Amino acid sequence: RSLMEKLIKICNKDADDWDEVLPIALYCYRRCPIGRLRKSPFEILYGRQPSDLYNGSQPITVIGDEDEFMQKIYELRNIYQENAKERRIAEIKRLPVGRDVDDMVIGEVVYRRALPGERLDKFHPRFIGPCRIIRTNQHGSYVVMDLDGVSRTLNRKDLIKQGHIERECIVVKEGEVLPAEGINMQDILPLRNA
């Protein structure tokens, strides 16, 4: 609806040229903040302010010669690319630093993310365990063994350290509940050489 309103306002009297003004209307629509959200669709989608095509700091010049015009376009394009690159680098520096993918060691106690078939509904826990890391692979891949002696290869994003479990108790198997503190993993999980 908003895009249609913008097209109607831009076309004003001549509705036949709507396809020519559509890129301008789309640009305006993506940059304008939505009233109740106070953010533009671009900002909602990408989480940052859109880049300005014209920032107003440079004067507008009228150029008659085509070669001079193309040279001016290339100069402005290079300036814009440098500014965009600097903004992107500053944006990357502001992003939170993620955890290291190789921060776990052999023998460490972890909980693994429940597989889709293991999590029957939203009331079942997201992480199942405890498990022990029995081997580390490349690029954040770990082989873990659970209480049943079943070993699985999992990515770092599917593992959580024992100290990070926020619940008071965890589900080990159907109907079996253990407290999160006080588990002696040396007694429960034998360390196998894989």
Q: What whole-number percentage of the chain has pLDDT above 90?
A: 6
Q: d(Cα 83, Cα 87) in Å, to the nearest integer?
A: 6
Residue 2, SS3 per DSSP: helix
pTM of the model: 0.38
- Domain positions in the chain are 1-50, 53-97, 109-188
Domain 109-188 part of CATH 2.30.30.140: yes
Q: Mean pLDDT lowest for which of 49-53, 68-72, 164-168?
A: 164-168
CA-based end-to-end distance of the chain = 61
Q: Is 155 helix (H, G, I), strand (E, B) or coil?
A: strand
